[in-house]
Amino acid sequence: MSTSYFEKEKIVTEDYYPYIKGFFKKFAGIYNIAALPLVTVRKKVIKMAAAGEGAEVLDIATGTGKQAFAFARNGYKVTGIDLSEDMLKIARRNNKYANLDLKEVDAACLPFEDSKFDVSCVSFALHDMPSAIRERVVGEMARVTKQGGVIVAADYALPKNGLVRYCAYRFIRWFESKYYPEFIDNNLHGLLKKAGIRIEAERKILFGAGVIIRGAKG
């Protein structure tokens, strides 16, 4: 008997939580070293968000908190959420900002009211989710962001040049979670648009192996 689309989605999402928590349990200790290439990306994300003074920012899947720290350093009121307690443990240990609150929360089911935040940001985490969860997470980001507020997504992309593209794909696939190939084959613009997010700007990063997209709600 063949498995229906919904049964397949259920199997994929049931496996996802233990898989991704286990993945980042192993990875947490070396994450800040592995993520060194993202050091220059943090400021670019802040610039793309272009949030006003005192804005309330939600950093989805904050991990060890590097992007959230960058927002907090700029004076915003920041909430960072993640489902990996191993990643959050490192974030909490390094957090020196009174304006940053870190919480253990599933981004697919945010415990925040509608339209709470001026900015919702997700950096280098959507590729760590199966498509059904990814869609839900982006939907949740749109829900908790104010009308006219900003949604920023930074993640992997594929460089234009064929050989560079092939090498980047093989290299990233080697160390990334099992959801990366499916993510990279999909359309991030389409995903954001489906959640009612209007794309306003895009900036390539990491020599074309990454992208920052700025969208607006409504």
Residues near ligand SAM, by CB under 6 A: 20, 24, 35, 61-63, 66-67, 81-84, 87, 106-108, 123-125, 128-129, 133, 137
CB of 72 to ligand SAM, least distance (A): 14
Q: Where are the alpha helices (DSSP H) in 50-197?
A: 66-73, 85-94, 131-144, 162-175, 180-184, 188-194
Residue with smaller CB distance to ligand SAM, 136 or 217:
136
Burial 27-51 (b: 16+ CB within 10 A, else e): bbeebbeebeebeebbebbbebbeb
Residue with smaller CB distance to ligand SAM, 55 or 133:
133
Residue closest to ligand SAM, measured at CB: 63
Q: Please name the residue that has the structure tokens 């199966």.
A: 130
Q: 34: which residues sit within 8 A by CB, 6+ positions away?
A: 27, 175
The torsion angles phi and psi of 45, rounded to 5 degrees, stand at -65, -45
Q: Where are the alpha helices (DSSP H) in 35-101?
A: 39-49, 66-73, 85-94
| Cα Rg, the chain, nearest whole Å | 17
CB of 91 to ligand SAM, least distance (A): 9
Residue with smaller CB distance to ligand SAM, 53 or 180:
180
Residue with smaller CB distance to ligand SAM, 36 or 163:
36
CB of 53 to ligand SAM, least distance (A): 24
The torsion angles phi and psi of 202, rounded to 5 degrees, stand at -145, 140
d(CA 2, CA 95): 49
Encoded amino acid at 175, one letter: F
Residue with smaller CB distance to ligand SAM, 87 or 197:
87
CB of 42 to ligand SAM, least distance (A): 8
Residue with smaller CB distance to ligand SAM, 162 or 175:
175
CB of 94 to ligand SAM, least distance (A): 12
CB of 162 to ligand SAM, least distance (A): 27
